Structure formats: C-alpha cells, structure tokens
Amino acid sequence: MTTDTVAKGSISPTSLAPKPRGGLVQSFHDSIVIAKRNLIRMTRIPEIVVFGMIQPVMFVLLFAYVFGGSINVDGSTDPKMFREFLMAGIFAQTVTFATAGSSAGIAEDMTKGLIDRFRSLPMARGAVLTGRTIADLVQTALTMVVLIVVALLVGWRVHEGIPKALGAIALMLLLGYSFTWIGALIGLSVRTPEAATSAGLIWLFPLTFVSNAFVPTAGMPTWLQHIADWNPFSATVQAGRVLFGNPGVSESNAWPMQHPVWASLLWSLLIIAVFRTLAVRKYRSATA
C-alpha cells in the first residue's frame, strides 16, 4: 500500500485509523486511563484544586456569619441552628458548581486538539467524557472533605449517625456527578473555555437559589415554592437535612419533599442517563 493509493481515494484515510475496541470492560478500562490522566494534570496544576476549595469555604463563612441570626429556621433565629440548616445547601451547591470546571476543561481539550488525538487511538468513544467526569468527581470529593472540616469548626453537627451521614454525602456526590455530564455537553457545544465557564455557571445560580438551600421555601410565593419543591437540587438538600438530622426539613406535601432520598436518587440517575447520552452523541458529531 502506498500514499498514492490513499491519495487517489481508493482507500479512505479514516479507514486506516485504529478501530475502538468494544465491551463494557474495555470501556471501563479506557475511562479509568483518561481519569488518571486528568488527575495527574490536576496535581501538576495545584491551583485548580486550591481555588476549587477556597470558594465553598468562603460561602460557608459568609453565609454562616453574615446571615446567621437573621433567618428564621423552625421558629428560631439562633445562629447555631441556621448554620446546621445551611450546611446541606452548601454541600449540594459545592458539588453542582463543579459543573463549570467540567465545561471549561472539555472545551479546552477541544480547542487544543487533544480530543482529535484521542480519536486516533483504539479506545471507547465515551471513555474520554466518562474519564473526565470521574476525575472531576474525585476532585469534588476532596473539596467535600475540606468543607466538612470547616463545617464542623463553625458548629455544624450530625445527629443521625455516621452511616446516614455518609449516605447523604453519597447522594450529593451523585448529584454532582450527574451535573458534570451537563457540563460535558456544554463544553462540547461552545467554542472557547471562557464561554464554557460562563455557560456552565449562568444556569446554576437560579437552580441553587430557587430552592430550599439557603432559606425555607415556605416564605416564597406559592408558584415559586412549587418550582423549588420539584427542583432536583432541593430534593438532595432535603435528603441531606433528613439524613444529617439537621433543622429546616421542609413540610411541603410535594412528593420530592416527602420522599427526598428516593427523589434525589431518581433525579440524579435520570440526569446521568439523559445528558450522558446527549454528551456522547455530541462528542461523536463534534469530532467526526
């Protein structure tokens, strides 16, 4: 076979590229390899991890000491009660804000041509995105550890035992992982990392603030309260408060507020199923 043969069109250049191997085991292996690559990159650029930890810590301190004592929680304005009420919302906000990092990271890989290099390798097509989201999940988990320590220092406590608390943290990390797939789709849909960062954050603010994260929804207008009660973010926050044994558990009759653990789990799995499918499809068409 010669280059002339390829040039004349008898053989397509794309037919010479190595074919990806199939199977769940191979896909899992490829995803872990990509995740390892992204984690190594994070260690070489430690400011990514450091600044990712500073922001949620600032939220804890600002909300706990600026708003503490001014918001009524279960009929009390006790600052300590507000701090316990607050932490489930801060935890959930922290894991969801990792979405912006996913968007920017994937957009950067696209602009640098790294995705095209991955396409030249015999690897599962969805592994590039799966590996990226797994790496982001690990980084988010590290941030959560730091945040829990800070929360304990400002007065937050767990009242339902360690197993339930770990269950609450797991639900929040699952929500964060599901949102990174939204971030992946955004990163594949924009042209620059700067645009990805903006697009990855702009929709998160109404999602997190039109919820039960920072104030009880009972004080909202009726129509807005219904939106907040069915917000997947609210379901995870409610599940956290129930499992942590913290004050401020909503008394709304909405199904997600009455069954928050199941609602949080179902919302997260639904988001993963929908946005992973869309992101992988977008990845294939964007790099074809």
Segment 10-36, tens digit of pLDDT: 544 444 444 555 567 778 888 888 888
| Cα–Cα distances in angstroms (integers) from residue 11 to residues 17, 18, 20, 138, 262, in the given order | 12, 14, 19, 43, 54
d(CA 94, CA 76): 26
Q: Helix or strand or coil: residue 73? A: strand
Residue 162 has pLDDT above 90, yes or no: yes
- Domain segments of the chain: what residues? 21-286
106 in Cβ contact with 187 (< 8 Å): yes
Phi, psi (5° rounding) for residue 76? -135, 145
Number of other CB atoms surrounding residue 132 within 10 Å? 26
Mean predicted confidence (pLDDT) in 133-142: 91
The pair of structure tokens assigned to 106 is: 């994937």
d(CA 202, CA 255): 28
Residue 58 has pLDDT above 80, yes or no: yes
d(CA 78, CA 75): 9
Closest of 173, 195, 175, 177 to residue 186, by C-alpha? 195
The predicted pLDDT at position 224 comes to 93
91 in Cβ contact with 147 (< 8 Å): yes
Q: What is the DSSP letter of 19?
A: P
Closest of 62, 61, 52 to residue 197, by C-alpha? 52
Mean pLDDT for all residues in the chain: 84
Residue 124 has pLDDT above 70, yes or no: yes
d(CA 66, CA 214): 13
The predicted pLDDT at position 232 comes to 95
The pair of structure tokens assigned to 167 is: 């269950």
